[in-house]
Amino acid sequence: MKGARGWVIAGAIAIVIAVAAVLLQPRQDSPEHSTDSDAANGASAALLFSQAMGHPTDQITGSFGAPAERSVMFVFTPTSPYTADEADRIHQWVLASGGILIYASEEADPELDRAFGVKRLGGFVSGVEYQGTPVVDGVIRVAGGDGMMPSVGGADAHVAFDEYHHGLTVSDFAPQAWVSTPWGAALLWLLVAVFFGLVLRGRRFGPIIERQAEVARSDAEWSVAVGQLLRRSSARGVTLGLLAGATERAVAARTGLPLQPRERFWNALWVRAPEVAAELAQIETSLYTSSSTERDLLTAASRLHAIAHPRPKNLAGPGR
């Protein structure tokens, strides 16, 4: 039942991804008049026309900056508003660098309108009050001629289209728009890995094995385990050293002598139990030679055990 539920969830996620991919397909519409769009209201024709006319043409993307001096800049319906600093820089570029700004937007940009003093009205304005100079043959009056003619650039003027302020659109989320980038491909593989990881997480690879309850081990089992570990590591000298230390502690407890300082312990042991002291000193002296083989190790361990745990003497009298 758990596996079936995982497949149902995986199928639902796949359906959601498919629906999102269909809905986020780029549409044949560009209300912001982007030069990347070939739609009826796109501005790709303006970009291609400028290139065909031999003008150095590019798009302002990534980071925003004013174009070169005496160049032309097109701003088509910004979807991301200009900041006050950006609008002031463009205004200064027009005044000081001889740049031409073609600002064509159905929607007002507050900062651009402020910087250039644009006032929008609800209808068309007659150009009768402006006298155009020079006057084209057959044309009597033209709007804005006095302001535009002194700023006309040369035949090799640089042309720039502002795509930086078009921001994110629905087409930017289409699969072909971000999968082709390195970070988009990495993100796609991450999503695939997470998807299959979640699917495989709910699957069983064999029967469930219950964990066995821990059983308390006796001291003898721990001793055997430590002995086996020391034997496998060939630590005979370490083993005899541990046994000798344990024997000294047992002798100190039996005779009532403090183990530390060690020199005082041995002096007192020679006085109180000289036989035990002599045998223990002999064994500890021969520890390095007794660790060459396992037989020598067993013999030395037996002698140490006999000192630490001596057999009680038979105090019973002879039988009648």
Beta bridge partners of 160: 58, 73
104: phi then psi, degrees, rounded to nearest 5: -120, 105
The whole-angstrom separation of Cα 135 and Cα 140 is 6
What confidence tier does 315 reach under pLDDT thresholds 50, 70, 90?
very low
- The segment with the largest mean pLDDT, out of 8-17, 109-118, 141-150, 259-268, is 109-118
130 vs 179: which has the higher pLDDT: 179
What is the percent of the chain where pLDDT is above 90? 14
Q: What is the rounded distance in angstroms from the CA atom of residue 123 to the CA atom of residue 100?
A: 25
Handedness of CA 107, 110, 111, 114 (dihedral sign): positive
Residue 58 host element (H or E): strand 57-60
Q: Write down the pLDDT at residue 112.
A: 92
Quote the DSSP letter at residue 35: T
Residue type, 214: E
Query: pLDDT tens digits, residue range 14-63?
Result: 777 766 665 555 556 777 888 888 888 888 899 999 999 989 999 988 78
Q: Crossing angle of helices 274-285/294-308, nearest 10°? A: 160
| pLDDT at 298 (0 to 100) | 74
Residue 181, pLDDT score:
64
Q: Strand pairing partners for 103? A: 75
User: How confident is the model over 81-101, as a mean pLDDT?
Assistant: 91
The kind and range of the H/E element at 73 are strand 72-76
pLDDT score of 150 more than 60: no
Share of the chain above pLDDT 70, in %: 66
pLDDT per residue as tens digits for the range 237-277: 777 777 778 888 888 888 888 878 878 888 888 888 888 88
Within 8 A by CB and 6+ apart from 295, the residues are: none
DSSP letter string, 182-195:
HHHHHHHHHHHHHH
Listing DSSP states for 17-30 in one string gives: HHHHHHHTSPPS--
Does pLDDT of 297 surpass 80?
Answer: no
pLDDT in tens, 162-213: 988 887 544 455 566 566 667 777 778 888 887 777 766 766 656 777 777 7
Q: How far, in Å, CA of 268 to CA of 252, rounded? A: 10
Question: Residue 149: its pLDDT value, please?
Answer: 44
Q: What is the mean pLDDT of the chain?
A: 75
For the cut 70, the answer to whether the pLDDT of residue 128 exceeds it is: no
Under DSSP, the state recorded for 166 is G
Pairing state of beta strands 72-76 and 159-162? parallel
Q: For residue 115, how many other CB atoms are within 10 A of its CB?
A: 20
